[in-house]
Amino acid sequence: MKDIVISGRRIARELWICAGCVLAALGVNVYAIIRFHTEWKELITTLHITLAVAAVFYAVLALLRGCVFGVMRAFRRKAA
Amino acid sequence: MGLAFNGNMDPELSSLSSLGPETRAQRREFLKRLAMVAGSSALLAELPWWSPLRAAPVSDSPSDRVRLGVIGIGSRGSFLLANLLRTPGVEVAALCDDYPPHLEAALAKVKGAKGFSDHRQMLDMPGLDGVLIAVPLFLHARMCLDAFAAGKHVFCEKSLAYSIEECQAIADAHRGSSKVFQIGHQRMFSPVFLRALELIRDGQIGQITQIRAYWHRNGNWRNPVPATGPDPSPFPSLERRLNWRLYLDYSRGLMTELASHHMQVANWFLGARPVSCAGYGSINYWKDGREVYDNVNLVYRYNNGTQVIYDSLISNRFYGMEVQVMGPKGTIEGETGKIFAENPPPAPGIVQLINEIEHGFFDTVPIGGPSWVPELKKDTKGSYLVREHTADDGTAISMAAFANAIRAGKPIPGMMEQACRAGVSVLMGHNAMEQQQEISWPEGFRE
Ligand SMILES: NC(=O)c1ccc[n+]([C@@H]2O[C@H](COP(=O)([O-])OP(=O)(O)OC[C@H]3O[C@@H](n4cnc5c(N)ncnc54)[C@H](O)[C@@H]3O)[C@@H](O)[C@H]2O)c1
């Protein structure tokens, strides 16, 4: 079986994307708290929901990146 | 979104319901915990009938044993019997039924029990401490009076009796004896209803302003009748013996057989008896020779201005059965075991946002909603009164209470009052429908 090598740079990039997704989800929570006049403690008490939203963001991003990668590869093959 | 009720949720009380006491050993363990709860509940003043449960659970030694007999081993009697057989410190010593197939089936389940077809012979049996009566309604009074006269402790199935005069006769006979009397209203021993009362007294729904109860089924309410069978006497036919609840000589139909449960809860929670009642009933669907109404609709008036609204029918089961206790701050549904706040705390902002996005995607666009939409039933999910429901609806606990009370030799306080209030209420309802006029609580009735 072929080993798959994931470079340190790649791991770091994914971690940064993850962190970005968590930040974005936190931003959504802040927006929701302001919009619906609920309590700031929800930033902590609904952390599980925030993380779930972050996971959804990450999955959507992964899908988009997959699509972009696929399209670019197809173009490159055509050009070659 | 479930509501978090921050009333002083009694963790002991709510954990009681999570035990399904199946074997004697499990049931003994369960009763041990029950004794702790019964001893500590702040509600005991309103639940005097829980006092026998404060006793420590007993061993199976002969000195602790109470010897009981069951009269009437049909559907309910068999259920009581199964519960008795799992109650620590109880010996089922005698069984009585004048319908041979039922007596034989019951005797096959209980090793060593003596069988009788006549309850008077059973009452003469030496060493029998008490009896459980689960016969058709019209026989309740006769059997209770015979049992008290024979010096036995009595558990009588609901509803108390066939007529108001008979209810009075049972109450009088009990007052004149030092024996234990218990009625088969199992909700009095249900942890769910206990918790409901606890929340009500804690002010969680505010003042009770209305109770609405209903019991809806869709079926003919008949037992199958074999083409041939044993001599049905003293009933004129097997049909009447097996379907006694459909005939007015033996039963008061939906009122005594179903409504009595919810009227007991209503009277208990309101701490009162109805002043009067009015209503209508008819046979509008099951026109098959039955004599009791197949739908009943009643309003009971209490002297603080609260009304209890009751209806029952057996031609539609969409709404099932429920007793709804309503106040300005919330509603309790006893059968579902839930409490609903009138103004539930809002969901967290992020949940509201997600819901909004979801609705934006999946809901159809309203062109212009009707103006009464805000008045429609709210779709709140409420929160459960106790953590887990078990198969026991209070019957198992009530068997233990009966046995403990006999062992202690002390009548169960408050029991006859509950039995009379429920029993008389449903008979008032029956009379109101029959006479098509408002019927008052019988003057001079002594509970
Ligand atoms: N607490 C509850 O939830 C509950 C539920 C069902 C029934 N019940 C009550 O239990 C009682 C019995 O109802 P059921 O559904 O078991 O009816 P059922 O017809 O199934 O059983 C009644 C039994 O009594 C026997 N019987 C009749 N006359 C007798 C006599 N003279 N001596 C001895 N036995 C006699 C019958 O043969 C039958 O076996 C009723 O009062 C009913 O209201 C209570």
Region A23-43 average pLDDT: 95
Whether ligand 1 lies within 6 angstroms of the CB of B119 is answered as yes
Q: Is residue B418 in a domain? A: no
pLDDT at B46: 80
d(Cα A9, Cα A23) in Å, to the nearest integer? 21
Q: What is the CATH number of the domain that holds B305?
A: 3.30.360.10
What's the CA-to-centroid distance between B321 and ligand 1, angstroms? Answer: 22
Residues B162 and B32 in one domain: yes
Rounded mean pLDDT of B346-352? Answer: 90
pLDDT bin (cut points 50, 70, 90) of residue B365 is low
Residues B27-53 have pLDDT tens digits of 777 777 777 766 666 777 788 898 898
Question: pTM of this prediction?
Answer: 0.86
B349 contacts on A by Cβ (under 8 Å): 29, 32-38, 42
What pLDDT is recorded for position B4?
A: 31
CATH number at residue B98: 3.40.50.720
Least Cα separation, residue B204 to chain A (angstroms): 23
Q: Is B4 on the interface with A (CB under 8 A)?
A: no
Nearest CA to ligand 1 atom 10: B134
pLDDT in tens, B176-210: 899 999 999 999 999 899 899 999 999 999 999 99
pLDDT band at B404 (very low <50, low <70, confident <90, very high): very high
Mean predicted confidence (pLDDT) in B255-265: 98
| Cβ–Cβ < 8 Å for B2, B351 | no
- Is residue B96 located within the same domain as residue B229? no
pLDDT over 60 at B341, yes or no: yes
Do B152 and B102 fall into the same domain? yes
Query: What pLDDT does residue B188 have?
Result: 95
Q: How far away, in angstroms, is B106 Cα from ligand 1 center?
A: 13
Same domain, B27 and B59: yes
Q: Is the CB–ligand 1 distance for residue B99 below 6 Å?
A: yes
Whether residue B226 contacts residue B238, with contact meaning beta carbons closer than 8 Å, is answered with: yes
Q: What pLDDT does B34 receive?
A: 73
Of chain B, the end-to-end C-alpha distance in Å amounts to: 45
Size of interface A-B (CB pairs under 8 A): 38
Instruction: Report the pLDDT value the prediction gives residue B251, as an integer from 0 to 100.
Output: 98
For chain B, say whether A54 makes contact (Cβ under 8 Å).
Answer: no
The reply to whether B54 and B171 lie within a common domain is yes
Q: What is the pLDDT of residues B100-140, one digit of tens each?
A: 999 999 999 999 999 999 999 999 999 999 999 999 999 99
Mean pLDDT for chain B overall: 90
Instruction: Say yes or no: CB of residue B131 within 6 Å of ligand 1.
Output: no
Does B220 share its domain with B108? no
Number of domains in chain B: 2
Let me know if residue B261 belongs to a domain.
yes
Give me the residue label for tokens 């968590």: A22
User: Is residue B78 domain-shared with residue B112, that is, in the same domain?
Assistant: yes
What is the per-residue DSSP string for B12-46?
HHHHHTT----SHHHHHHHHHHHHHHHHH-GGGGG
CB contact under 8 A, A35 and B349: yes
For residue A12, give how far its alpha carbon lies from the nearest alpha carbon of chain B (Å).
29
pLDDT band, residue B377 (cuts 50/70/90):
confident
User: Best interface-test mutation with A: which of B350, B356, B358 has the largest number of A CBs within 10 A?
Assistant: B350
* Residue B56 pLDDT class (50, 70, 90 cuts): confident
Range of the domain at B303: 207-327+423-440
* Angle between helix B260-270 and helix B191-201 axes, rounded to 10 deg: 30
Residue B363 lies in a domain: no
> Is the predicted pLDDT of residue B13 greater than 80, yes or no?
no
pLDDT per position as a tens digit, B281-317: 999 999 999 999 999 999 999 999 999 999 999 999 9
Q: Are both B48 and B170 inside the same structural domain?
A: yes
What number does the ligand 1 atom closest to the CA of B77 have? 16
Do B409 and B427 fall into the same domain?
Answer: no
| Closest chain A residue by Cα to residue B345 | A38
Q: Do residues B81 and B70 make contact, with C-beta atoms less than 8 angstroms apart?
A: yes
Task: Please tell me if the CB atom of residue B80 comes closer than 6 angstroms to any atom of ligand 1.
Answer: no
Contacts of B350 in chain A (CB under 8 A): 28-29, 32-33, 42, 46, 49-50, 53
The Cβ-side half-sphere exposure at A20, using a 13 Å CA radius, reads: 11
* CB of B257 closer than 6 angstroms to any ligand 1 atom: yes
Return the domain boundaries, chain A.
Answer: 8-79
Which H, E and C letters describe B48-79, residue by residue?
Answer: HHHHHHHCCCCCCCHHHCEEEEEECCCHHHHH
B380 contacts B340 by C-beta, under 8 angstroms: yes
Same domain, B130 and B91: yes
Q: Is B392 in the pocket of ligand 1 (CB under 6 A)?
A: no
Handedness of CA B160, B166, B171, B173 (dihedral sign): negative
Check residue B389 and give its pLDDT.
Answer: 66
Q: Is the ipTM of this complex over 0.95?
A: no
Per-residue pLDDT band for B22 (boundaries 50, 70, 90) equals low
Ligand 1 neighbourhood includes B146 CB (under 6 angstroms): no
Q: Please give the distance, rounded to the nearest whole angstrom, from the Cα atom of residue B95 to the centre of ligand 1.
A: 13
pLDDT at B372: 75
